[in-house]
Structure 1
Amino acid sequence: MKLRAGGGHELLPFGKPPKVVLLVTFSFILLTLISVCHPFKYWQPINYHKASSSSPSSSTVSRVAVSDGGGSDVSVAGSVVGAAGAEAKECDIFSGEWVPNHRAPYYTNETCWAIHEHQNCMKYGRPDTGFMKWRWKPFGCELPLFNPAQFLELVRGKSLALVGDSVARNQMQSLICLLSKVEYPVDASYTSDEHFKRWKYQTYNFTLAIFTSPHLVKTKEADSDGPTHTGLFNLYLDEVDDQWSAHIDGFDYVIISAGHWFFRPLVFYENHRPVGCHFCNVPTLPDLTKFYGFRKAFRSAFAAINHRKGYKGITYLRTFAPGHFEGGLWNQGGNCLKTTPYRSNETALGGDDMELYLIQIEEFRRAEAEGRKRGLKYRLLDTTQAMLLRPDGHPSRYGHRAEEKVVLYNDCVHWCLPGPIDAWGDFLLEMLKTEGRRSREEKKLSSSGRRLG
């Protein structure tokens, strides 16, 4: 219904507009026109998902910024810079969720020969395939999926070594499979020992190596059975394992990792004498816990890297990837039967896993500060949060044929291939791209007499 007043003019329901309303309306129209012609720059706060309120954010240790998928490039300062030069947002690629990816997997157990038998889940009868069809989505940006041709171009003429336990080998096999769409490597090993393999991508003159060293320091198996029937190991915490440390000179990238072997019974040695143990059942030795040995082992490993005069490469710490045993310990019937990932609000890092993660971060910071004095670079490959959310990605009992008479526990530590561990290739490639941009910027600043902050 239309209301009428005064001299017969058709009016708005509230009557004749006061001057202040006209002024506000005119101002709003003016501001709208200005914003269309000259867009304002908006800054979105970073949404960091932390393992706990007291845990250090990975962003404070090694920030990696990525494109938001709109053709943006990334500045060395850590913020994404758009194609038009407008500042957008920076993003922690290690904080996010798993989202469906129906295009995966990008290889199979039939197309890639590098899959270890115990991680060949499809070969040995795993009935579901959904665990292969996810990708990691950081909060606030997109993490590009692995591009094998781009990766090989970035590492042309270079070399990468992985140092650690069988999960490090798991990572190497994942990388070989991801690269298999472009090229397979040839065996360039100096020994027949499968624990120390070197692969050469001949077209790209790129070497990929694995140095198996579950404890990173010198280790001797004192008893193949031990108190828990899983062996007893002597760890010489102040003596690094020279089977890897003496061979990293000349490598451009070295990825250090360790973790699950520290849950087994251990006797700790320092200055050639026992100082304590973990689950060793020796009355004369104090129980120093696995955390003591874990910290000292990483400290020794990083110190060895920082003191090698011939090493000039970039050191990556690949953080602890938690196992997912439920219903018992790994050697007491524990299993992992979930078929979908957790959401980030459904679980949290805690207990032993949190302690191991925090120790790694603390020792990483110490090593990074020391290495900086020598001009060495350290980077954090923080896989912990992403892998915490993947209880569905382990081999469980599908690491051998059901009828085989073998003594194997349910495997809730390693990762099926194809599977969640392939996302480590996405992380690594993005970090290498960021490293290249940073290197170019450093050269520019160096030529102008300035330094990158």
Structure 2
Amino acid sequence: MLTNFPKTYQLQNDKLLLPKKEFVTYTLYALIAVALLYLFVDPAAPASSTKPSVAAPWIQEELPPPSPPPSYQGGERSRSSPQPQAVSSAATPCDYSDGEWVPDPRPPPYNGTACEAIKDGRSCMANGRADTGYLHWRWQPRRCDLPDFSPEAFLRWLRNRHMAFVGDSLARNQAESLMCLLSSWSPAELVHREEDGRFRRWVFREHNATVSIFWSPFLVKGAEKSEHAGVRYNELYLDEFDERWMSELGAIDAAVVSAGQWFRIPSIYHDGGRVVGCYGCAAELNHTETSFFAVFRDVVRRTLAEVARRHEHGGKLVALTTFSPSHFEGEWNKGAPCTKTRPYKKGEKGLGYTETEMRKIVVEEAANAAGAASSSSSTVRFAAVDVTTLANMRPDGHPGPYMRKNPFAAADGRPVQNDCLHWCMPGPVDTFNQILLQTILR
């Protein structure tokens, strides 16, 4: 017992010896303290569990974008690839519009030379583009993570549904990207095609799922400018809707709307059977000069209101993809190129006035439509897929001269035309559909 503690361990100075009762008490206190220490502190735990952060891509400017891993054979991204870990609260929706592009050494999510949905002008690798650095970046939001696109999850949601992409060639670009992403998981059958691919429809038989493309660059009724036919101006009829897609909306469960670039072309505006304005028209026409921003907002607002009116109880989803900027280094119709081979750094290139205003219109009108629907009995849901900033930072992701096969050999000494508006596939446009999936799921 502690009261029989051997004398050989006692302090030699009698004045320092503790009384037996006090010695037992202090010993018990010490044992309790040691027990508590081992109970609440894990001596094997590391000092910190914080993982080292990955340096932003511009920290080492001399390093090129990462090359594909040796096992890459032009196939799809591994389905067992680790997923980024979300850091945002589930109660707070992620703001995917604010972030930066960071290196991603994994192969692209699908084979860019094998997907049959790609329009020839977007198949950059098949057309001879040799540099592949543009394939190895991913979008990293500032306060959260953007999960990899899951074709399985998208097809599970799309089962027994019909999704339509409505708008201009950038809407078509996004639709083709989605088809390639989904086809990497499940085969699709092209069941309808007309007008040089402007109207197409695919069916995923295994899921009874349908994806369509509707060409409608003005969303409302319009006639396109055609230099070949001597037509110098677009003609827009603001009070009439484009029934080529609007009339089929009853059979469509989700519409992804993307328009904007065609509104920047000189146009004459009609409303109520008369000309109400003109953008970029010659003085001799004697029409009131009108801002295309105002017309674009008016068209988006009228279109969303008409969808809500016709299908108030249809349970529709309408997602509006925001404006996608071009990167021509000069005048596009004079062969201006887009020569950059890396994304812009965060803060290196801000949005121009046009891009800012066009994005703002879509975001605001989508929010207004969503608010009106929530305050009524409407079951139509509206949301913006905000891609303007992330697209603005990718001057390297366009076809450039590779909008056709072997462009420099085919040019035969003539200037080579560049496409610095649409997106290579695979490429940045696939991120549009990553955000679309998250918009759908939440």
Sort the TM-score into its range (normalised by shorter chain). Answer: 0.7 to 0.9
Aligned to 1:249, the other structure's residue is in SS state helix
Cα separation, 2, equivalents of 1:199 and 1:247: 16
Q: Per the alignment, do residues 380 and 34 of structure 1 end up closer, same or farther by CA in structure 2, a change over 3 Å counting? A: farther
Please report how far the alpha carbon of residue 107 of structure 1 lies from its aligned counterpart in structure 2 after TM superposition: 2.0
Give the match for residue 125 of structure 1: 128
401-410 vs 390-399, which moves further? 401-410
| Consecutive unaligned residues in structure 2, runs of 5 or more | 1-35, 43-82
* Mapped pair 1:389 → 2:397: no
- The superposition leaves residues 77-99 of structure 1 with CA deviations (integer Å, 9 ceiling, x where unpaired) of x33xxxxxxxxxx5312321111
Report the Cα distance in structure 1 between the residues aligned to 2:237 and 2:40, rounded to whole angstroms.
69
Indicate conservation of the 8 Å contact 2:190/2:201, yes or no.
yes
Cα deviations by residue, 1:59-114 (Å, 9 ceiling, x for unpaired): xxxxxxxxx94589974xx33xxxxxxxxxx5312321111111121222322111
2:440 pairs with 1:432? yes
Q: Deviations over 1:408-453 (max 9, x none)?
A: 842111000111111122112222222xxxxxxxxxxxxxxxxxxx
The 1:341–1:34 alpha-carbon spacing in structure 2 relative to 1, beyond 3 Å, is same
Could you tell me which runs of 5 or more consecutive residues in structure 1 were left unpaired when the two chains were aligned: 1-29, 37-67, 80-89, 435-453
Q: Are the counterparts in 2 of residues 136 and 423 from structure 1 also a CA contact under 8 Å?
A: yes
Cα distance change of structure 1 residues 269 and 157 upon mapping to structure 2, 3 Å threshold: same
RMSD: 2.9
Q: Deviation digits for residues 296-317 of structure 1, max 9, x if unmatched?
A: 2212211221111374311111
Structure 2: distance between partners of 1:264 and 1:196: 22
Structure 2 residue aligned with 1:251: 252
* Alignment counterpart, residue 343 of structure 2, candidates 337, 341, 344: 341
Superposed CA deviations along residues 200-240 of structure 1, whole A, max 9, x for unmatched, are 000011110111101111112465359xx884211011212
Task: Answer yes or no: is the 8 Å Cα contact 1:225–1:232 preserved in 2.
Answer: no
Cα 1:156–1:222, aligned 2, differ >3 Å: closer, same or farther?
Answer: closer
Would you say the 8 A contact 1:218–1:236 is kept in 2?
yes
Give the alignment's TM-score, normalised by structure 2. Answer: 0.75
Give the conservation status (yes or no) of the 8 Å contact 1:306–1:370.
no
Instruction: Tell me the secondary structure at the aligned position of residue 189 of structure 1.
Output: strand
Task: Give, in whole Å, the separation in 2 of the partners of 1:137 and 1:221.
Answer: 38
Structure 1 length normalisation: TM-score?
0.73
For 1:380, give the aligned amino acid.
A
Q: Distance in 2 between matches of 1:192 and 1:263?
A: 23
Listed one character per residue, the Cα deviations across residues 12-41 of structure 1 (whole Å, up to 9, x for unaligned) are xxxxxxxxxxxxxxxxxx99x9899xxxxx
Instruction: Assess, with a 3 A threshold, how the Cα gap between structure 1 residues 396 and 274 changes in structure 2: closer, same or farther.
Output: same
1:33-432 correspondence runs (5 A): 69-70=84-85, 75=90, 78-79=91-92, 91-189=94-192, 194-221=197-224, 224=227, 231-283=232-284, 284-309=286-311, 311-326=314-329, 328-372=330-374, 373=376, 374-401=378-405, 402=407, 403-404=409-410, 409-432=417-440
How far does residue 353 in structure 1 lie from its aligned partner after superposition? Answer: 1.1
Identity of aligned residues (%): 37
Separation of aligned partners in 1, 2:347 and 2:194:
47
After superposition, the Cα gap between the structure-2 partners of 1:320 and 1:134, relative to the gap in structure 1 and judged at 3 Å, is: same
Structure 2: which amino acid aligns with 1:398?
Y
Q: How far apart, in 1, do the equivalents of 2:174 and 2:183 lie?
A: 14
What SS does the corresponding residue of 2:105 show, helix, strand or coil? coil
